[in-house]
Structure 1
Amino acid sequence: MAFSILCLLLALLIKNTFPTQVAMLLALLAMLAFKVVTPSQALTGFSNTGVATVAVLFVVAEGIQRTSVLLPVFRVLLGKPKQLWVAQLRLMVPVAAASAFLNNTPVVTMMIPVVQGWSRRAGFPIAKLLMPLNNAAILGGTVTLLGTSTSLVVKALAEADGLEDQNGEPINLTIFGIAKVGLPSLLVGILYMLVFSRCLLRDRGASSTATVTKNPREYTVALLVESRSPIVNETVTDAGLRQLQGLFLIEITRAGGEVIPAVSPETRIEAGDTLLFAGIVETVTELYHIVGLVPATVQSTKLAAERHKRRLVEVVISPTSLLVGRSVKESKFRSRFQAAIIAVHRRGTHVRQKIADIALCAGDTLLLETSTEFMERHGRNSNFALVSEVSGSQPPREDRLHMVLSAVIASTMVLLATVGGPVYPLLTSASLAAAAMLVTSCLTLRNAGDSVSIPVILTVASSFGVSKGLETSGGAAELADFIVRIFRGLGNRGLLFGIYLSTAILSSLITNNAAVALVFPIAKTIIESEGLNTLAALYTIMLAASASFSTPIGYTTNLLVDGPGGYHFVDWIIFGLPLQIVLAFVAVFLCSFFYT
């Protein structure tokens, strides 16, 4: 029965019939219904410390992202290279280093807009940068146990099952234990990407799902350049404002009143300039995150909320609204709603009138800058037919104090979890770090709550029960016996290669956490029956589960860069499959060399 449920689960995951977490929960429910697992076995994952660790690390990573501690570092490290391979190297090395200690998904999320602007300024194709960025982040995540939730899941599964090393001692997977095999794999991967990205990675041009002329949510937005902004004294091209997807720089108004209506690519930006843009809200959000670039409206400066606590919200004026027919100034919009209107969209036309003088009409879409409480206070206000928060629009903190605080907190977390025995288990040190992030205001409670990916937690927690069902039913033993029959003739390296191949194939078709859950009981059976080194097998699973380079659906970050990079499915196969094959031999050789 367990085998039938497994086959059905794989079919659901491959066809993407349900979200991964739903498919895993359905499989677990089926095992409960057919008594493959007991209720206590089914709930093992929901009380596991490894699952809790994954959740807490999401909060720590969000604190680092919210304080922008990495962005100034990356601006310095990226620089202005003249050659593509230099640009790729300067991008991949720091990204891999960051991903070794932070979950690679938020690292890639944070870096995509940075790399997009950098590629425009440096003149390099975005397709030549985003896939190497993604792959370097994935490989960097395998240098320690902190970089990816998959490694933490393997650690949790091993500890929950009481696996022992070759000396009969309980298995102890330390944060840097995987570095012996993860770091060489990273170096090989970087070398491969530097050499073969020129011939195997095709530049198809970044995709854009919207254009200025066709997108229904088009605004005219005026942004003020503050003296502290990094784009001061840069040309329009160097600042990355020339080729923004779905956004066009209409004009620049100097502090002295001079208007530049036809902006040249070589026009230099000065402190106090007002930049007038026309385009879509998604790209407006990208600009909103640039340090020192703020809405050029007096109403915005009067908002009580600190900038890092603000966000963008879209509202549509209802036909019965009391605002209809009244100007923004007459309606006292800011005082009434604690929100500043920074742009107005009206039936496909640019409303370039001074905002205070605009007479509001039914159906007008307003882009507001407001505080975190707006949705709660006015989400059901009868003046608005629709209220929608713009995703990802909350700016990060920009002060150095919180940058330093978040860096110190994250560093202390790593030290406490690694030195002195370690001082604390990873869950304890990560929980202390998350609490410190909240106490020092590096992030808010809402930020912390939003940062925890419930689908990931549900997938990981339910995977423990599914894994236990495969083991107790004998299904894992049958699959393990199949792998042993095929690869036993090649010795321990052959068995490791069989484990690697099984995990890598599954990770290319389903999520890596789900793949780990299915392969773990099989690997455990091989360890016990064939005397395979426990550490070698576990590290092989970790590396194989993360080596999802050959399909866009194989890893979360693959999907993040797929659209912005303009990639086709075949691009992932052509560039990622050879990399996956190379790393398979490297990982198996290193695991067998160090641990067997």
Structure 2
Amino acid sequence: PYLMPLAFASLLGGMTTLVGTPPNIIIASFREAATGDAFTMFDFTPVGLGVALAGVLFIALIGWRLIPTRQAQATPGETIEIADYMTEVRVTEDSRYVGRLVRDLEELARDDVAIVGLIHRGRRYGAPSSYQIIDTGDVFIIEANPEDLRSFVDETGFRLEGFSNIRSDVDKAVASDDVALLEAVVVPNGQIEGRNAAGLHLHSEYGVNLLAVSRSGARIASRLSRVVLQAGDVLLLQGRTELMLAALPRLNLLPLADRDLRIGQPRRLVIPVAVFVGALLLTIFGLLPIHVSLVAAVTLLLLSRFITLQSAYQSINWPIIVLLGAMIPVGGALESTGGAARIAALVTDLGHTLPPWTILAIVLVTTMLLSDVVNNSTAVILMAPVAMGVSEAMGASVDPFLMAVAIGGSSAFLTPIGHQSNTIVMGPGGYKFGDYWRMGLPLDVIIVSVSVPLIMWVWPLGI
């Protein structure tokens, strides 16, 4: 029950500073366009901190009790018992694959059979090279369901081995000094969402094997090559460490657990952290806007070769960039065509019968609901022009309405698709789509109850 609270806490914490979450940076740019001055680093703190404290207290005392208890995904080899799904086959003397390459077996197996290990002349190899020559007496450790296993044995002429030492062989083959075994989660709008393993060609293109897929904490038992991957799915992957490190960013996968997979070297992290802190200080003291200081930090790391151009390019979530690039003109069109003003007029018409704070609450709640179904940055881009139009129609300051949009954009607590943090914990926590509103709905009510008075106190309406 602790992963969803952790995800929600990360969203609450992001409300407190300019760089805590992308919506805050976007709102700061809208404020600069409207008034000539952007929100600074800690302008979000008075309201954001109050909301975060109220939210964390609710989660810690009551909220976590509202989450359904289900079997969560454990570490590799626990919930997904690897050896239970693997088999050893021996290369016979009369097999037509003797003298050929492992690559030929991979082409035969496609993604229905994963070749995860090889015992060649008494030596074990994890994730054998595609160019390894097959010899008589070699033993392959493969992962397949019974139907695919039968077809594989019939086609190759290999012989099924006994199972007395299969668990020992699997443990030594699937993860060793140069072979990694880890779980990774499919992120929303990632490269592999909506695709199946057969179309990805994971081993031939990336050099990794897909051993299992878990969805909502339960292993998917159907043929992996035909499973359409969804955001939040947990993939159990195996491959050589260097290939795994290269494959994760290319596939837009986030690692959840690993066995001796080193993502970075601690000593090399000192300078990048120092550069990042320096960029933040430049923004805090008003010397550079945040988007300039962070780009300068990345440029410095590239020039000093702490990161490569390829890794920097692969780490960019291009679907989100394209989505935001498409939504920015939409937000601009809402403002330039008068659409935002018309929507604002409809909202402010309610102001004749309702107090001003209710209009602020309407803007906040609308942004909240929108951020639950689209990317939170997109929700902010669409709602900011409307909020500015409402403030203009009411003759009020734009600041409280932009702050309401910022809070609402970071309050994606009702669904797993509103924010990446929610999606990441869905598979490992064994959560279902409908679990999020159980704690998210009362949390939203608390956020509205706390944030509206705080916003009006810190950022007065001026009417």
Fold match by TM threshold 0.5 = yes
Alignment RMSD? 3.9
Q: 2:405 aligns with which of 530, 541, 566?
A: 541
Q: 2:28 aligns with which of 138, 146, 155?
A: 155
Q: 1:444 aligns with which of 297, 308, 333?
A: 308
Per the normalisation by structure 2, the TM-score is: 0.63
**Residue 217 and residue 156 in structure 1: after superposition, are their counterparts in 2 closer, same or farther (change >3 A)?**
farther
Structure 2 residue 421 is matched with structure 1 residue 557 = yes
Structure 2 residue 290 is matched with structure 1 residue 426 = yes
Quick one: which amino acid aligns to residue 409 of structure 1?
V
Contact 1:220–1:343 (CA under 8 A) maintained in structure 2: no
How far off its partner does 1:543 sit?
0.6
Q: 2:172 aligns with which of 262, 269, 276?
A: 276
Q: Could you tell me how far apart the structure 2 residues matched to 1:560 and 1:343 are?
A: 21
Q: Could you tell me how far apart the structure 2 residues matched to 1:585 and 1:474 are?
A: 31
Q: Which residue does the alignment assign to 1:286?
A: 182
Q: 2:19 aligns with which of 118, 139, 146?
A: 146
How far off its partner does 1:372 sit?
9.8
Q: Could you tell me how far apart the structure 1 residues matched to 2:433 and 2:275 are?
A: 40
Q: Which residue does the alignment assign to 1:217?
A: 114
Q: Could you tell me how far apart the structure 2 residues matched to 1:525 and 1:546 are?
A: 21
Q: Could you tell me how far apart the structure 2 residues matched to 1:526 and 1:287 are?
A: 47
Quick one: which amino acid aligns to residue 34 of structure 2?
L
The Cα offsets for residues 86-130 of structure 1, whole Å up to 9 and x where unpaired, read as xxxxxxxxxxxxxxxxxxxxxxxxxxxxxxxxxxxxxxxxxx221
Which structure 1 segments of 5+ residues have no match? 1-127, 165-169, 225-260, 264-273, 289-312, 318-338, 346-364, 376-387
**Residue 594 and residue 275 in structure 1: after superposition, are their counterparts in 2 closer, same or farther (change >3 A)?**
same
> Aligned to 1:219, what secondary structure does the other structure show?
strand
Quick one: which amino acid aligns to residue 4 of structure 2?
M
The Cα offsets for residues 147-184 of structure 1, whole Å up to 9 and x where unpaired, read as 2222222222333xx312xxxxx232112111111111
**Residue 437 and residue 486 in structure 1: after superposition, are their counterparts in 2 closer, same or farther (change >3 A)?**
same
Q: Could you tell me how far apart the structure 2 residues matched to 1:425 and 1:517 are?
A: 19
How far off its partner does 1:441 sit?
3.5
Quick one: which amino acid aligns to residue 452 of structure 1?
I
Quick one: which amino acid aligns to residue 286 of structure 1?
L
> Aligned to 1:564, what secondary structure does the other structure show?
helix
Structure 2 residue 374 is matched with structure 1 residue 506 = no
How far off its partner does 1:584 sit?
1.3
**Residue 482 and residue 412 in structure 1: after superposition, are their counterparts in 2 closer, same or farther (change >3 A)?**
same
Q: Which residue does the alignment assign to 1:195?
A: 61
**Residue 441 and residue 486 in structure 1: after superposition, are their counterparts in 2 closer, same or farther (change >3 A)?**
same
Quick one: which amino acid aligns to residue 144 of structure 1?
T
> Aligned to 1:552, what secondary structure does the other structure show?
coil
Q: Could you tell me how far apart the structure 2 residues matched to 1:200 and 1:275 are?
A: 39
Contact 1:480–1:526 (CA under 8 A) maintained in structure 2: yes
Q: 1:572 aligns with which of 436, 443, 456?
A: 436
Quick one: which amino acid aligns to residue 402 of structure 2?
L
The Cα offsets for residues 374-404 of structure 1, whole Å up to 9 and x where unpaired, read as 99xxxxxxxxxxxx9895688422232x221
Q: Which residue does the alignment assign to 2:345?
A: 481
Q: Could you tell me how far apart the structure 1 residues matched to 2:44 and 2:251 are?
A: 41
Quick one: which amino acid aligns to residue 219 of structure 1?
V
How far off its partner does 1:342 sit?
11
**Residue 428 and residue 522 in structure 1: after superposition, are their counterparts in 2 closer, same or farther (change >3 A)?**
closer
Quick one: which amino acid aligns to residue 320 of structure 2?
V
How far off its partner does 1:446 sit?
1.2
Q: Could you tell me how far apart the structure 1 residues matched to 2:338 and 2:60 are?
A: 45
> Aligned to 2:116, what secondary structure does the other structure show?
strand
Structure 2 residue 324 is matched with structure 1 residue 460 = yes
**Residue 593 and residue 573 in structure 1: after superposition, are their counterparts in 2 closer, same or farther (change >3 A)?**
same
Per the normalisation by structure 1, the TM-score is: 0.50
**Residue 467 and residue 399 in structure 1: after superposition, are their counterparts in 2 closer, same or farther (change >3 A)?**
closer
**Residue 485 and residue 277 in structure 1: after superposition, are their counterparts in 2 closer, same or farther (change >3 A)?**
farther
Q: Could you tell me how far apart the structure 2 residues matched to 1:344 and 1:513 are?
A: 33
Which structure 2 segments of 5+ residues have no match? 87-112, 119-123, 127-164, 185-200, 212-236, 256-260
How far off its partner does 1:509 sit?
2.2
Structure 2 residue 392 is matched with structure 1 residue 528 = yes
User: What fraction of aligned residue pairs are identical, expressed as a percent?
Assistant: 25
**Residue 223 and residue 472 in structure 1: after superposition, are their counterparts in 2 closer, same or farther (change >3 A)?**
same
Q: Could you tell me how far apart the structure 2 residues matched to 1:494 and 1:576 are?
A: 21
Quick one: which amino acid aligns to residue 172 of structure 2?
L
> Aligned to 1:563, what secondary structure does the other structure show?
helix
Q: Could you tell me how far apart the structure 2 residues matched to 1:473 and 1:524 are?
A: 14
